[in-house]
A and B are shown apart, each in its own frame.
Chain A
Amino acid sequence: MSARLEAEHLYKVFGRRPDEAVERLRQGADREELRADGTTAAVIDASFTVEPGQIFVVMGLSGSGKSTLLRMLNGLLEPTAGHVRFDGQDLTAISDRELREVRAKKISMVFQHFALFPHRSVLENAAYGLSVQGVPRVEREKRAAEALELCGLAGWEKSWPDELSGGMQQRVGLARALATDADLLLMDESFSALDPLIRRDMQDQLLELQRTLKKTIVFITHDLNEAMRLGDRIAVMRDGRIVQTGTAEDILLRPAGDYVASFIQDVDRSRVLTAGAVMDTDIRGDEADCGCETATPETPFTELCAISARLSHPVAVLDAGRELVGVVPRQRLVGLLGDERGEAPACDRGEKVIARA
């Protein structure tokens, strides 16, 4: 299956003579050199692909260029160089009118500060995209009401945005994006303005919706935990460049460079890792024959620890066809929690050490 969304060597430079700046960046100039000339390189040579139904998270600190990158995907900002392909169509090459058409029908967006129209009711807000498309009133109100219901806002249609809490407002924002039936959702730090508990709720709800709707989502965040929770794939940005792209496990287990490594220190690994990511694939073949409890590659880390605690030997990992694919020794589980990947050397005294709490 071909990629739904493809970004190809995207550059965005603000300031004078942007093309010249891109040329210098290609030849290896760095961001600071350009800044001295008064030009700002917001995004430098960003490439990635997003498969249909995937949540692709772009993670980076503020100023890393992630919002600029997102805005190039639906043409709110025109790339200085590079291409964006969506469903095979090059969005950088089409006319304004066609671009508006794509935005109205195929790509919708959810904003950090909700960006609800204060002069429209909740229902009218949710129906906004449809009214832009010229969908007749009765139909668009029906579809908007459905989208609101999907986001858990049934019964709030007649309210006004400022009467809602932040979390509810963002649900309206999400409903507005879903109502148009767009395939691609761009979410710009959509949950960052919410307090932590509400943010958890919203993340859960997004994952829940995603199970049934199977949208393609590009999600921007500065919070690596959020990235790990939501992302099928994650791109880490630093100073305008994508420094690593991969799954949550890739990034946790094989961080590309010190920058990413320093980032992942604070991540709660137990929520991210699964048996498939941590298992040892170097197997003898008979580990599962004892009839004890086994795990699957999708088994979460915490559950794996529980199983391991009940067994005296490494946990066997079986795939869907009950074939043995790997084993997880307890020492590896402990090592991952302590961020220690080395093999344990033999102890000098060769005695058991009992830790006392």
Chain B
Amino acid sequence: MGSYDVIFYILSIVSLGAALGVIFFPSPIYSALMLAITMSGLAAMFFTLEAYFLAGVQLIVYAGAVVVLFVMVLMLFDLRKESQPFSGQKISNFFKAGIIAAASMALIIPLSTVFFIRTEKTKPVTTVDLAGTLFTKYVFAFEAIGILLLVVLVGALALAKSRGGTHE
């Protein structure tokens, strides 16, 4: 087990723990902050795999922008803290699901350490390669996603305007 493996396991524990925290924290703010830690952990993992561009984009887009917006909106709405993460009848079902998930994890993790996880480095993909593929081979899909995002943006604006809002 080399030093990269040690870092990989630390990062996995942090990311998985934070991901569980997203679900189990009763306070929505803590959940959102945990989501930010999960995203940063994933970015750090990409970093150790020398996928620097992906790591950076993961940080900028998810941890730096999307989750910041989540946190900001949650803080604005001042949601009340729930007394417990799950309530009523559902708890037993969720508990069962949790036990099944934990059991399968307990199986998968030891197996995957033996068979699947390869933390050694592959040939690093440069940004130039990435941009080349994006703007030649997948240019149609790229543009289509751009149009989709534009439609979402216009739709969100239209929805926000129809209720009146704070500006006229």
Do A and B associate with each other? no
List residues of chain A with CB under 8 Å of any chain B CB.
none
- B residues with CB within 8 A of A: none
